[in-house]
Amino acid sequence: MAAAAVMLLLFFASCMHAAVFCAAAGFDEVPTVAFDEAFAPLFGESNMVRSSGGDAVSITLDRSTGSGFISKRYYHHGLFSADVKLPAGHTAGVVVAFYLSNGDVFEATHDELDFEFLGNRAGHRWRMQTNVYGNGSTARGREERYVLPFDPTAAKHRFSILWSSSSIVFYVDGTPVREAQHRRSRRRFTDDGMGPDGDDSDMGADYPSKPMAVYVTIWDGSTWATENGKHTVDYRHGPFTADFSGLVLRGCPADATGADIRQLHLGASTQRCATAEWELMTAEYAVMTARKRADMRRFRRRQMVYTVCYDTDRYPAALPECEVNAAERQMFERWGESKASFRSRTTAPAPLVSMMQAAD
C-alpha cells in the first residue's frame, strides 16, 4: 500500500515537469470513431492512406497536392480530438491543421476553431497556433502561438477542442492550454496575481455559435507559415506526412448537411442538443478544476510565444475574453510576442497572420 502511494506521488510529480503532460481524467474513456464511419476525403485523396483497421489515416503533402478530410456531419458543440504525429526534418512552410469550421456553408459569416501546426527549418521546433473566429471575425483574429515541450515528430500526441455555448478549451495531451469564455466577469489581476477586478464582458457575435464540421488538412503555407513567409516549402525534403488516429467526435450532430444548416442554429436543432451539451460539460474531462487552471497557466507561462491578449499594437483595449495579468504582461512586447522569443530575433516581426487571413 505504501509503495503504491509512493508511485502515485511520483506520477503526479512527473506531471509537474515542464516537458511532461499527463492526460486529464476522463479523456481515455472517450470512445473513438473509425475513419470511414465518420469522415470523408476532402481533397488529395491520392495522398491519403487509411490503416487496415480503419482507425488511423495518414495525409501527405508533395509537389502535386496536399490532402485533407472532413467529418460527414456538422455538430452543435462537443469534444473533438485526434492523436497527431507530425512530419520530421526540414518542414518550413508546411501547415498541418486540425480544426472546426462551417466556412463551406457560411462563407461570409463562418465560425472556426483551429489547431494549426507550423513547420520549421531542420533543427528548429514546430510551432502550434490556436485561432478562434466567430461570425466571420477573421479581421479580429484571436491567435496564439506556442512552442511544444516535446518533439511532435517522435510520437503521437493528443490535441483536443472542447466547444460549448459557454466556453472553448484547447487541450494538449489532456492539459488545457487555452480557454475562451463566451461571457465572463473580466478579471484584471494586480502585480501579485491576486485580486481580480473588472466588469462583465461578452464576446457577442464573435463567439462561434453555428454548427461546424471537423477538418484535417496538410498543405503548402509558404506565404506565411514560417517566419511570415521567409522560409518556404522545399520539396527536396519531402514528401511530408502527418499521421492521425484516436479520432473523437463527441458532439450533437446537426439534423442536416449542406445548405440546410443555415437554419438549424436558429430553431429546434439547437434545443434538441441542449441536453447533450449539459452531459458534455459535466463530464470529468470538461470540468475546469483549480488544478487544471494551474496546469494551463504553467503551460502558457513556459510555452506561449505570442498572444493576442497582450498585442496592444492591434488591440489597445484587451479583447473581452482576455485575462490581463499585470506581471505577466511585462513578459511580452507590445505586439504580443514574448520577450524571451523576441530576444532571439534581430527585428520586430511582421503582423501575425493565420491561414484564414492569408487566404483573404
Q: Which of 29, 37, 107, 116 is catalytic?
A: 116
Q: CA-CA distance, 221 to 150, in Å (whole number)?
A: 23
CB atoms within 10 A of CB 199: 7
DSSP letter for each residue of 224-252? TTTTTTTS---GGG--EEEEEEEEEEEEE
What backbone phi and psi angles, to 5 degrees, belong to 157?
A: -135, 150
Q: Are 33 and 56 in contact (CB under 8 A)?
A: no
Q: CA-CA distance, 311 to 151, in Å (whole number)?
A: 28
Question: CA 168 → CA 130, 180, 201, 209, distances in Å?
Answer: 11, 5, 15, 11
Q: Which of 37, 107, 112, 277 is catalytic?
A: 112
Question: Which set of grid coordinates corresponds to residue 215?
Answer: 477538418
112 catalytic residue (yes or no): yes
Give the active site residues: 112, 116
